[in-house]
Structure 1
Amino acid sequence: MDARPLVIGHRGASGYRPEHTAPAYKLAFELGADFVEPDVVATRDGVLVVRHENEISGTTDVAGHPEFEARRTTKTVDGEALTGWFTEDFTWAELQTLRCVERLPALRPSSAAFDGQFGILRLADLFALVDRATDARQRPLGIVAELKHAHYFGRLGLPLAELFAAEVSAAGWNGGDGRLVVESFEPTALKRVRALGVWGASVLLVEETGAPADLVAEEGDGARGYASYLTREGVAEVAAEGFDGISVPKSLLLARGDSPAAADASGSAGASDAGDSLVGHALVGHAHDAGLRVFTWTLRPENEFLDKRFRVGADPAAWGGWQAEFGAIMASGVDGVFADHPDVAVAVRGELAEH
């Protein structure tokens, strides 16, 4: 794992296959990914499954199953009202009857061609898949596991941290060998995982705005906002709280002085004092000085997802100037990038290493 930045297959190779499926994860490693990223949610009977959200209407064929029609409902998850079908209302046996579909069929029709072919994975299945891929490829491979909506699930009697810790131990993945990273937007969940003895790097996901759902649930409007983690003092505090890294949206690494996130910054030089938001090289540099790793999300080549400076033409599905954007992000010194198409991220990393 000497190459930097690490290339992390975002939900597998989700640009080529429906996300979070076994073929997506296998393909990610075939295309050169160092790690893969599962999002972890729970079923009614406490089985951890890999889905981007607990609401699954956009990534499975659940709407086409009349036997589950009555389970369609509206819930508030971390302050957002969502309507659909939710993993916590299904047993693992029931979820096994569903098939996965492409979440972005209009942008990725070639991936949508695989709709209905693959089932949902448990986290346990992914641990085993990565073990097999490591043996087959004879190189170290790993997982960056994101715990989703931990406070929400905890209130339902489904403690994600405890379930996750048990799964890690059962899979033989608690060896502290560097192949497991745990991340969450909720600092309380990360601290709980560590308290339970999980030996994996702990990475705090940070948005540009808003506040962690767990802190909001406990403290209300007075909860600490994500922006407070993005100053010189903030990154030092993240390290002092025992975290090993932060994971930030790519917009922060591409931000310039006209960005809301960098209101007091000048170019990519970053913030002018300890209270200003850090961006670009400054954010990465100050995080490194504090002993933190920095990850960023998500590298995608389609115009729809590129910064406006790198779009080419008007077709949102067309690939724009992704090489330039990916290169600018990697040049910030970031330690890991999440990519839907791991092969193109690996290619840009290789080109940068040659210069």
Structure 2
Amino acid sequence: MASSRHISIIVLVLLFGGSKANPAAPSHSQLDVNHKKPLQTFRPYNIAHRGSNGELPEETAAAYLRAIEEGADFIETDILASKDGHLICFHDVTLDNITDVANRTEFAHRKRTYEVQGAKVTGWFVVDFTLKELKSLRVKQRFSFRDQRYNGKYQIITFEEFILIALYADRIVGIYPEIKNPVFINQHVKWSNGKKFEDKFVETLLRYGYKGAYMSEGWLRQPVFIQSFAPTSLISVSNMTNSPKVFLIDDTKTPTQDTNQSYYEITSNAYLAFIRNYVIGIGPWKDTIVPPKDNYLGQPTDLVARAHAHNLQVHPYTFRNENSCLHFNFHQDPYVEYEYWLNEIGVDGLFTDFTGSLHKYQEWTKPYPKKQKKAEALLHEIANMLKDDGY
């Protein structure tokens, strides 16, 4: 197993300003997954949306480490590309909302206007900055109603650094990366040999050992879901890897960014039957599953039932604890919201900004089976004995 000193060095580098673009991929002997607590698969997945970003600035090493500490099954991230072709963890194509770029006078001339998904957008774009320049920026909390104490403390991380956080966790933690805005990225970032964003994305996953069909031995060792709002990207990566994929679905007014299909077309039975050849699940915005009115829940649609009939999992997004994000039916109680979605709607995983809350709810209502807990405790005891003996 990797030494605690090795892990500490990696964590310190990620948290406090490391700038290596391509850290070396760890070997299986370094990771020693056989002695790690396995991924739970007996209850819906706890998916840490951009890390534990309800507490810490999103998609930073700190947010991901906190999510793992709090019990996340998967850590989720958005993948974009820098001007010089490095894959980074960042949600927006512009840097304006969650970095200090507007205060950096050396970058004042970089402001641009581009077309993004049919709309003119002005700002400082990720694709106009090199990785070194992106690493010089500092990240802040997106929402003003969340804790602002950590603003300016953390930097943007690369896809590879994100992977290392999962691989060096003290238990098996899955990753859930999104191919973000692939049409825009492929327009503005060019790689050698005619490669595209999707090629570089899959190459990175394969280089770090992520492969194998859902629930295969390889997948259970290094779990991954590949997600995208762009169906053509998911179809494209299906020709490169058999890792499981999830088709993200936006609100009812937003067409797909690459095929310009409506929400109603992509959620039809005919389309679900088609897309299931490439994906194992869908990730809809939760308000399209249960449309609200005046902040009260309406009648649930049949989308979950129809997806399950096509043998597709359903992982809705995004669950947030704050009162302003909870429908009135839940009486400002996020645990009541979890109960509704897991027990009444019957989804297979949740994207949440508050990993710890979801983990506590699931441990209260559906804890690990006693036999599994005893087996894991025994394995942990044996591992400690071997460690004490110098192995």
TM value normalised by structure 2: 0.75
Q: Which runs of structure 2 are paired with 1:196-211 in the superposition (5 Å)?
A: 197-209=240-252, 210-211=254-255
1:31 aligns with 2:70: yes
The equivalent residue for 2:111 is: 72
| Contact 1:236/1:287 (<8 A) preserved | no
1:226 aligns with 2:263: yes
The equivalent residue for 1:143 is: 175
CA distance in 1, matches of 2:272, 2:238: 19
1:213 aligns with 2:251: no
Match 2:322 to one of 297, 302, 317: 302
Displacement of 1:116 in angstroms is 0.9
The equivalent residue for 1:337 is: 350
Displacement of 1:175 in angstroms is 4.7
Match 1:52 to one of 91, 100, 116: 91
The equivalent residue for 2:135 is: 96
> What one-letter code is carried by the residue in structure 1 that aligns with 2:77?
P
C-alpha distance 116-208 of structure 1, shift in aligned 2 (>3 A): closer
SS of structure 1 residue aligned to 2:246: strand
CA distance in 1, matches of 2:108, 2:208: 35
Query: Deviations along 1:15-61, whole A, 9 cap, x unmatched?
Result: 01000000100000100100011100000111000011121111111
Match 1:346 to one of 355, 359, 371: 359
CA distance in 1, matches of 2:334, 2:132: 41
| Contact 1:254/1:329 (<8 A) preserved | no
> What one-letter code is carried by the residue in structure 2 that aligns with 1:17?
L
Larger radius of gyration: 2
The equivalent residue for 1:317 is: none
> What one-letter code is carried by the residue in structure 1 that aligns with 2:250?
E
The equivalent residue for 1:126 is: 162
Which stretch shifts more, 18-27 or 205-214?
205-214
Is there any run of 5+ residues in structure 1 with no aligned partner, and where?
217-223, 269-278, 313-319
The equivalent residue for 1:5 is: 44
CA distance in 2, matches of 1:74, 1:12: 30
The equivalent residue for 1:271 is: none
Which stretch shifts more, 199-208 or 171-180?
171-180
1:152 aligns with 2:184: yes
Query: Deviations along 1:235-289, whole A, 9 cap, x unmatched?
Result: 22321x4221110111134337x79xx9xxx944xxxxxxxxxx2xx32222122
Match 2:150 to one of 100, 114, 121: 114
Displacement of 1:185 in angstroms is 0.7
> What one-letter code is carried by the residue in structure 2 that aligns with 1:107?
F
CA distance in 1, matches of 2:109, 2:189: 23
> What one-letter code is carried by the residue in structure 1 that aligns with 2:204?
E
Two-structure CA RMSD over aligned residues (Å): 2.0
Query: Deviations along 1:291-323, whole A, 9 cap, x unmatched?
Result: 11111100101122122433x5xxxxxxx2222
Query: Deviations along 1:97-136, whole A, 9 cap, x unmatched?
Result: 11111111x210x2x2011111110000011110001xx1
Displacement of 1:325 in angstroms is 1.6
SS of structure 1 residue aligned to 2:136: coil
Query: Deviations along 1:130-169, whole A, 9 cap, x unmatched?
Result: 0001xx1x3x211111111101111224422011012112
| Contact 1:44/1:88 (<8 A) preserved | yes
CA distance in 1, matches of 2:106, 2:212: 42
- Size of the aligned set, in residue pairs, is 312
| Contact 1:43/1:90 (<8 A) preserved | yes
TM value normalised by structure 1: 0.83
